[in-house]
Amino acid sequence: MKRADKMHIAILILVFLFGEAKSAWALQSHPPPEGIYVHQMAHILFMGALAYLYWHTRRTPAIASKGWRYLQIFCIILFLWNLMAFTGHEISEYLKATDIIDKNSLNEQIAAPITFAKALYYFTRMDHFLNVPALLALVISLRTFYQEARKEAER
């Protein structure tokens, strides 16, 4: 089959799928909570990936150097950041509209009384305290790798 023919068939399928999207196609709808669910699942997936990366780099003797140790730190911190972000997203679901006052202004604040959920929300809003150090660890790790690689190359 020629390439042009394949393209024509693909366009036809897309037209059928999107252009004529009716109930006859039994398309699944994506109401509002789905977005946060997917996002949270993405965090979990990312945490799993980081945990695996950490575990793997720990158990592989061939890659035990200074750069890898920084990478492991990056994994730990970013894992914690994911956990923090996940928690932040979860806890925000429990806050009511009245819990934030002067919303969308510089005086925006969490209304009293400060419950555990509100305090936790406030804390998770400052997730960059983990995100930035994690990325810093990544930078240091890669810089270390680069320096080692250059030394090796120079040798």
Partner 1 sequence: MNGLPLLPAVTVEFIGSALAILLSFIALGYARALVRLQPNNFIWGFFFYFCIAMAAFSLSRGVGHIVRILLVYDGRSEIWEKLSPWSGGFNTMLLISVAAVTIYYHKGLAAYKAIRLEAEKLSEANAKLAAGARQLQQLNANLEQMVDERTRNLSESEKKFRNFFENSKDIIYFSDIEGNITNINTSGINLLGFNSSQETINFHTLFKNTSDLERYLLELRQNGFVSDLEMECRGKNGAVRHILLSANAIYSHQGDVVGCEGIGKDMTRIRNMTDQLINHEKMALVGNMAAGIAHEINTPLGIILGYAQLMMDDFSKDSEGFSNLKIIERQTKTCRRIVADLLKFSRQSESIKTHIDLNEIIREVLSVTEHTLNIHRILVERRFASDIPPVIGNAEKLHQVFINLFNNAQYAMPEGGKIAISTSKTSDDVLVTVQDTGTGVADDIKNKIFDPFFTTKEVGEGTGLGLSVSYGIVQEHGGTITVESPVEDPETKTVSAGTAFRLRFPAVTNNLYMNGSMRENG
Backbone angles phi, psi at 109, to 5 degrees: -155, 165
Using CB under 8 A as the criterion, which residues of the chain lie in contact with partner 1 when the complex forms? 35, 38-39, 42-43, 45-46, 48-50, 52-53, 56, 62-63, 100-101, 104-114, 118-119, 122, 125-129, 131-132, 135-136, 138-139, 142-143, 145-146, 149-150, 153
The secondary structure of 44-61 as a DSSP string is: HHHHHHHHHHHHHHHH-G
Instruction: Specify the residue, 16 or 55, whose C-beta has the smaller distance to partner 1.
Output: 55
Q: Which of 20, 18, 16 is nearest to 8 (CA)?
A: 16
Min dist. Cβ of residue 87 to partner 1 (A): 15
Instruction: Specify the residue, 6 or 48, whose C-beta has the smaller distance to partner 1.
Output: 48
C-beta of residue 36 within 8 angstroms of C-beta of residue 106: no
Min dist. Cβ of residue 33 to partner 1 (A): 13
Min dist. Cβ of residue 62 to partner 1 (A): 7
Instruction: Specify the residue, 6 or 150, whose C-beta has the smaller distance to partner 1.
Output: 150
Min dist. Cβ of residue 26 to partner 1 (A): 24
| Interior/surface letters 72-111, b for 16+ CB within 10 angstroms, e for the rest | bbbbbbbbbbbbbbbbbebbbeeeeeebbeeeeeeeeebe
Instruction: Specify the residue, 3 or 33, whose C-beta has the smaller distance to partner 1.
Output: 33
